[in-house]
């Protein structure tokens, strides 16, 4: 029989005042990450993590519940003010921002960091028949 070693992981709980919320919305999912000022992850959640499957993951309600879960976890570490960075074309953008506003956290900045091509790849030639 295998003996258990006496080690157990101890979570460090460091109280942080301000953080950043990164909301990545795609056509299929919404991923929310709460970090501290350095960029270390404090809490995260996603629509799939909340139990939504298939096309229901891409709904505004799923995005709202993912944001609420991530903020609930972040509040336990003491986050009070946040900067919000929203990325992607999904339908959960507005719903996620609305959920952050209604959570009671002080928002110091909102930025859209969606990558936009400034020229992009060469366009495929039109078919000639």
- The pLDDT, as a whole number, for residue 23 is 95
- The pLDDT, as a whole number, for residue 117 is 86
Does the reported pTM lie above 0.75? Answer: yes
- The pLDDT, as a whole number, for residue 31 is 95
Tokens linked to 91: 């339908």
- The pLDDT, as a whole number, for residue 13 is 63
Strands (E), the chain: 18-25, 30-35, 41-46, 81-87, 106-112
- The pLDDT, as a whole number, for residue 90 is 84
Tokens linked to 52: 């939504």
- Which positions ≥6 away from 41 have C-beta within 8 Å? 33, 34, 35
Sheet-wide strand order for 30-35: 41-46, 30-35, 18-25, 81-87, 106-112
Please list the rounded mean pLDDT of every run of 10 residues in the chain (129 residues): 67 76 94 93 93 92 94 91 93 92 92 91 90
């Amino acid at each position: 029989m295998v003996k258990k070693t006496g080690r157990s992981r101890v979570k460090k709980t460091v109280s942080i005042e301000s953080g950043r919320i990164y909301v990545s919305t795609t056509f299929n999912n919404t991923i929310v990450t709460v970090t501290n000022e350095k960029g270390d992850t404090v809490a995260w959640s996603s629509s799939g993590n909340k139990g939504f499957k298939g096309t229901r993951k891409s709904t505004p309600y799923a995005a709202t519940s993912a944001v609420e879960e991530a903020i609930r976890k972040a509040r336990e570490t003491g986050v009070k003010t946040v900067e919000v960075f929203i990325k992607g074309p999904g339908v959960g953008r507005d719903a996620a921002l609305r959920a952050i506003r209604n959570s009671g956290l002080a928002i110091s900045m909102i930025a859209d960091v969606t990558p936009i091509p400034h020229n992009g790849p060469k366009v495929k030639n039109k078919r000639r028949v």
